[in-house]
Amino acid sequence: EEVTWDTSTHSAIVTVVPDLPTPLIDRIHCEATYTLSPLGHETVRAIDVTIVVDWPLVGERVAARVFGLLRDVFDDEARLLAE
């Protein structure tokens, strides 16, 4: 995972680089934009995710699994920050 923060916009670009053999890495692109915005006395987190898996027959299932894993990580992070 590579994260590039932009403090002026309170956002980050998160690029996930899978630990896979080289031929497979070229078939998967996973990137998320993570933005924090004020809402009254709270902070709203917005995450826009792009997942592309160029793999016939299983690509959509792999992308859905990756999305689920990312959602779990971001939800766990939010829970920890709220504590």
Encode the chain (83 residues) as per-residue pLDDT tens digits. 889 999 999 999 989 888 888 888 888 888 999 899 999 998 888 989 999 999 889 899 989 988 898 889 888 988 897 88
Q: Judge whether 9 and 33 are in contact, CB under 8 Å.
A: no
Give the sign of the dihedral formed by CA 17, CA 29, CA 32, CA 79: negative
Spatial separation of the C-alpha atoms in residues 2 and 17, rounded to whole Å: 8
Q: Is 51 helix (H, G, I), strand (E, B) or coil?
A: strand
| Beta-carbon contacts of residue 80 (< 8 Å; ≥ 6 apart) | none
Token code pair at residue 3: 């994260």
Rounded to a whole number of angstroms, the CA Rg of the chain reads 15
